[in-house]
Amino acid sequence: MALLEVKGLTKHFGGLRAVHDFSFHVNPGEILGLIGPNGAGKTTAFNLISGFIRPTVGQILLEGDDLVGMKPYAITRKGVTRTFQIVKPFKKLPVLENVALAAFMRYRSRSEAEAEARKVLERMGLGPKLSTSASDLTLSEQKRLEIARALATRPKLLLLDEPMSGLNATEIDQATRLVIDICKEGVTVIWVEHVLKAIMNASHRVVVISQGQKIADSSPHQVVNNPDVIAAYLGKRSNEHVVR
């Protein structure tokens, strides 16, 4: 059975069809890449799944339970945790506290929550930065903090919203390896990304969304050769327009 199954997800903002009749699923243990041109509806899809906005219609089934209408915190408690594209750390708080706050969801006592936070931060290469204020980290570190915070809630499904944006080539390679490792440890990942190279290397399967609708759903290799996908990213040739 799919871990998450999205059926006919639709969100209209007034006349704008941000996401329209969007259906896909993710299998347990998978890294699912979600790509699409700017404004395609990727982040809206994330906001819908994580409960930050309510769909106009559609179902979001986590192991068969519908998440629609649940508040973001309740969805996180069900095991679906997101990161934000524009990082949103608790700026004035130390790195350790940022992650311990997330670990408090599973551990009531401060010492246990902090121990869990240390473990996750060590794992994300932020071990030496525990007492630094989150606002003093580099962007690459803040991106990792964003993932560490999400992992500390022990999610079944991790929603990564463009974790690579703004990183340099070396950092992208590191981060890609990190995502693959996270998945190997048993966390299913849906990964929205603009950096196609990274997503092509890491994903088991790729869903392409354009103008709010799904236009492809297949292996990374097949997706890059799909004419609809190429058209969505690069535009159609003018003579093709005429022929069609």
Partner 1 sequence: MKHLPVVALILLFAAVPWIVPVPFFLHLVIMVLMWTVLGAAWNILGGFAGQVSFGHATFLGAGAYTTMILYLKLGLAPWYGIVAGGIVAALIALPIGFICFRLRGPYFALSTLAVAEIVRLVALNWESLTAGPVGLLITTLPEISFFGTPVNWESKTPFYYIGLAIALGALLVTAVMSRTRMGAYLLAIREDIDTAEAIGINTVRVRVAALSLSAMLAGAAGGFYAMYLRYIDPDAVFSISLSVEMVFIAVVGGLTTVFGPLIGAIFLVTLGETFREHFLVGHLIFYGVFMMVAIRYMPEGIWGKLRLLTGLRH
**Interface ranges with partner 1 (CB under 8 A):** 50, 52, 71-74, 76-77, 81-82, 84, 88-93, 97, 100-102, 104-105, 108, 110, 113, 149-150, 152-153
Nearer to partner 1, 30 or 114 (CB): 114
Q: Pick from 190, 242, 205: which is nearest to 81 by CA? A: 190
Q: How far apart are CB 110 and partner 1 at their closest, in Å? A: 7
Nearer to partner 1, 104 or 191 (CB): 104
**Residues 6+ away with beta carbon under 8 Å from 179:** 31, 160, 163, 189, 191, 202
Nearer to partner 1, 95 or 223 (CB): 95
Nearer to partner 1, 86 or 169 (CB): 86
Cross-strand partners of 31: 189
Name the amino acid, one letter, at 63: E
Q: How far apart are CB 48 and partner 1 at their closest, in Å? A: 14
Q: How far apart are CB 92 and partner 1 at their closest, in Å? A: 6
Nearer to partner 1, 92 or 241 (CB): 92
Q: How far apart are CB 189 and partner 1 at their closest, in Å? A: 16
- Is 131:96 a contact under the CB 8 Å cutoff? yes
Nearer to partner 1, 21 or 97 (CB): 97
Nearer to partner 1, 115 or 169 (CB): 115
Q: How far apart are CB 203 and partner 1 at their closest, in Å? A: 23
Q: How far apart are CB 65 and partner 1 at their closest, in Å? A: 16
Q: How far apart are CB 155 and partner 1 at their closest, in Å? A: 10
